[in-house]
Chains A and B, each alone.
Chain A
Amino acid sequence: MSGEALLELRGVSVSFDGFRAINDLSLSLRQGEMRAIVGPNGAGKTTMMDIITGKTRPDTGVVRFAGHDLTKRDEAAIARLGIGRKFQKPTVFEALSVRDNLLLSLKGLRSPFALLFARETAEEAGRIDALLETTRLAPHARVQAGGLSHGQKQWLEIGMLLGQEPQLLLVDEPVAGMTDAETMATADLLRDINRTRSIVVVEHDMEFVRALGVGVTVLHEGSVLAEGALEAVSADPRVIDVYLGR
């Protein structure tokens, strides 16, 4: 794993009330890479995302992104550095229209004072239209986000991530609750996004991971159990043990 890593976790541990959710976790992601993180429930996948995005502070360890120390920054600062996060449960602003959801996500104005007098520029309108196309939500632009289907909300949230123009996307179970067709379309979308951005995707759905065709990291009890191509990893007896046997 040569070249400078975009994202690097080294020896990261965090405990909640004595329970070690993350245990000496080390992980490194190259610029432009897409990586799938798999692991049984409780393996620490979501906690890892929380650490990277500043929601949880690690007890020990190093978390670096593009040369910045993430452990000293809050969520907003980390988001502004260029890390976007999609939650497991689609989290969009339900009372706002699809368009307004995307407008708020657009990279740029973040200070409340700047927003007070801000008007939507033609350039911003163009970016929103492009996002609506990418996420196939153009026909629903004026619809309240709360009225979208589950799959559409997932896509809207991915659209909001893209609006932030992050270098790195953290995507938590993007295809949970999607139909097979939606799942495959989402795989295509992520591959497409990966041409310009790095992605970490957490997913249970092995078909989806296979469709992504990317390197896999298996987490177990808060640390890396195995890493490599999906075929190699799924043939690893330890992985089989954790996933299937017991």
Chain B
Amino acid sequence: MTGGFAFRGVVRTAAAVLAIAALLALGSLLPQSTPLSVSPFVVTLAGKYLAYAMLALAVDLVWGFVGILTLGHAAFFALGGYAMGMYLVREIGARGVYGNPDLPDFMVFLSWKALPWYWWGSDHFVVAAVLVLAVPGALAALFGWLAFRSRVGGVYLSIITQALTYALMLAFFQNGLGFGGNNGLTDFKDVLGFDLHRPGTRAALLMISALVLAGAMLATRALVGGRFGRLLIAVRDAESRTRFLGYRPDQVKLLVWVVSALIAAVGGALYVLQVGIINPGEFAPANSIESVIWVAVGGRGTLSGAVIGAVLVNLGKTLFTAWLPELWLYGLGALFIATTLFLPQGLMGLGRHLVRRRAEVTPEITRPAGDAA
């Protein structure tokens, strides 16, 4: 049992994501007195969960299918978020505290006279959208090229990914870097002229998140389901064998690594649009580790499990932190340990197990030996 091809439920999960998002989005537009009404707060929360689900999907793609245990994927998520945040900050224009039409508040506060060159064009949404993909993609490409070419793998690679996100966090805490220091980017007003605080905009953003997530799920499924996916499993399980067959596993890993970073980056952009703030805390190593836990809880190597795990664990976090905030980290740790010990296949494995128990009473007899899938 490897979980390699246990992703047939992806279409169903994607459909469920869309249906639930649609219910919440529509509900938020109903008058508050009606029974199906949903508060805007819930819509924003759901949007945040879906953004996290993108990050989880990205982690599952590299961890579940190529065996790269990344402990720094939140770096790509946060970079995508910052790229979108730059545009949103520029959209504020003269409505900021200092009323400067050309400079974001934090730059005025630092008595900067002009925008740094890397902020040029950030007032255009299209430029921001390109940066959301280009910056994390380029970083992932450079990092992956160096790491995979040198055949760095296993726990060493995990440690380097942690170092990467930690270094970025320290850099983004610097005021001089030009991204708002420890306050980050916030106080956004609107996107493409739509007021970010209006329920209609929020409902639309939730639906867009759901559509993007569903699209990413289907795209990753296509990626891992075909012939390329077979090669991924081969690289994951017997990398050196693929070399002697004439493949270059470093190229394979690099390709998937960059695709995964792009998915995480889009998740970060959606996150910022809905949560309304991005700061260096998003680079914190703990965030990346949490995203691995979501995938483990949901079921590694299943795609659906990543999405389900991200949503459920974050839902749990929301509820738990409202009740017993100081106990949440213990709860999360216990959840991870329990999953590792009792549910190595995560919730998806549990689900499959229950379905199978119902379907066949004596699997040992009905299934021919050696065909244990």
Chain A residues within 8 Å of B, Cβ to Cβ: 53, 55, 74-76, 79-80, 84-85, 87, 91-96, 100, 103-105, 110-113, 115-116, 118-120, 140, 143-144, 146-148, 160, 164
Contacts and interface: CB of A to CB of B under 8 A. Distances in A.
Interface string B170-208: 000000000000000000000000000000000000000
A93 B247 contact: no
Nearest to B230: A100
A95 B245 contact: no
A88 B248 CA distance: 22
Contacts of B372: 144, 147
B231 A119 contact: no
Interface in B245-301: 245-248, 251-252, 255
B243 interface: yes
A146 B251 CA distance: 26
21 contacts: A74-B243, A79-B243, A79-B244, A80-B246, A85-B244, A93-B238, A94-B2, A94-B238, A103-B227, A104-B234, A110-B246, A112-B231, A112-B251, A115-B227, A116-B223, A116-B255, A118-B228, A119-B226, A119-B227, A146-B2, A147-B370
Nearest to B369: A147
A143 B370 contact: yes
Given A112-B255, A118-B227, A148 B245 contact: no
B233 interface: yes
A95 B227 CA distance: 14
Which 9 A/B pairs are nearest by Cβ-Cβ distance? A79-B246, A75-B243, A95-B2, A147-B370, A80-B246, A93-B234, A115-B228, A95-B4, A112-B252
B243 A96 contact: no
Contact of A104 (B2, B245, B255): B245
Contact of A95 (B237, B246, B371): B237
A84 B237 CA distance: 19
Nearest to A111: B251
B356 interface: no
A118 B4 CA distance: 19
Contacts of B231: 104, 112, 115
* Chain B facing A: main interface SS: helix
A99 to B, nearest CB: 10
B244 A95 contact: no
Contacts of B227: 103, 115, 118-120
Contact of B370 (A148, A160, A164): A148
Contact of B247 (A94, A110, A113, A118): A110
A115 B256 CA distance: 13
Nearest to A93: B234
Contacts of A164: 245-246
B260 to A, nearest CB: 14
Given A103-B227, A112-B228, A118-B227, A96 B245 contact: no
B241 interface: yes
Nearest to B222: A116
A96 B237 CA distance: 10
A79 B4 contact: no
Contacts of B245: 79, 104-105, 160, 164
A164 B227 CA distance: 17
Contact of B243 (A76, A111, A112): A76
B371 A147 contact: yes
A95 B233 contact: yes
Contacts of B238: 91-94
A92 B237 CA distance: 9
Contacts of A104: 230-231, 234, 242, 245, 247
A164 B243 CA distance: 12
A20 to B, nearest CB: 24
A68 to B, nearest CB: 14
A70 to B, nearest CB: 13
Contacts of B243: 74-76, 79
Interface string B319-361: 0000000000000000000000000000000000000000000
B301 to A, nearest CB: 10
Contacts of A93: 230, 233-234, 237-238, 241
Nearest to A85: B244
B114 interface: no
Nearest to A75: B243
B202 to A, nearest CB: 36
